[in-house]
Structure 1
């Protein structure tokens, strides 16, 4: 049985109402991101014939939305970043293109993780972060590069006493981070 346009609309509305109720009290930016992500759920592929197939498709879309939310948490858009750093958006584009600033693109927007900044330094990055970026840039060999960098930099690591590499760098342990990167071939694990 092919889902009709009406049945897809009913499913879409059901999901929208469920998400909307769970978003009450959440920050407006988070709500906006989830509702934007809902657009990706809008069109269930027509070749899914059973409820089970459609449910699996929706579950997969939900996992993609959760992964997107995790990537975007603690991130700023370019205009916000430019204001924080006191530079132009064009200057940010230059830093991104040169690999001197970690950023990623979602749809038409660029997002910049806030945790990489230390406004007390000359380049406004955590001390040593430029060295880490330069080292990681050597390993840009696939489309998931940003996700790999983000995960590696923000996940606890036994080598750093269960702290993240970012936390270790903030505590001045840049040499340990660089040594570890060299030992594992770029930090994509």
Structure 2
């Protein structure tokens, strides 16, 4: 279950946000345990949210990107194997969790994943026979833009975002 939310929107900041915060008309967030089943939970949350915003036709691309961002956060952002984490977000301390936020504005949808690592996301040069290592390349291919930034102040970690045009016309910048 997700919530209406603005926290990641505020943390991302105007300089990094691919949509004008004043124009956002929909925002929903969910806290995820750093466990493998969170990828499915993130996709389900995305499906429900896009359906409620009447953007269901964008689900396939957005769900693929959300899955890759959450998987990347699980593999590289939690700092220890996901199997070692306790179940449920309430069992976690402080910033040691993952969070997904979806935001919708005129002509653009943005998804943001927060994880506790400050290490930059790095697209891997995957071998053609490798079974993994293409996540950020898929994010790059299926979204219209993506980026990241470290959190500042007392917050630790980073935000990785991807944006999608939701209409055939270019988004207002």
TM-score by length of structure 2 reads: 0.25
**TM-score with structure 1 setting the length:** 0.23
From the two aligned structures, give the one with the greater strand fraction.
2
Q: Which protein is richer in helix relative to its size?
A: 1
- Of structures 1 and 2, the one with the larger relative CO (CA 8 A, separation 6+) is 2
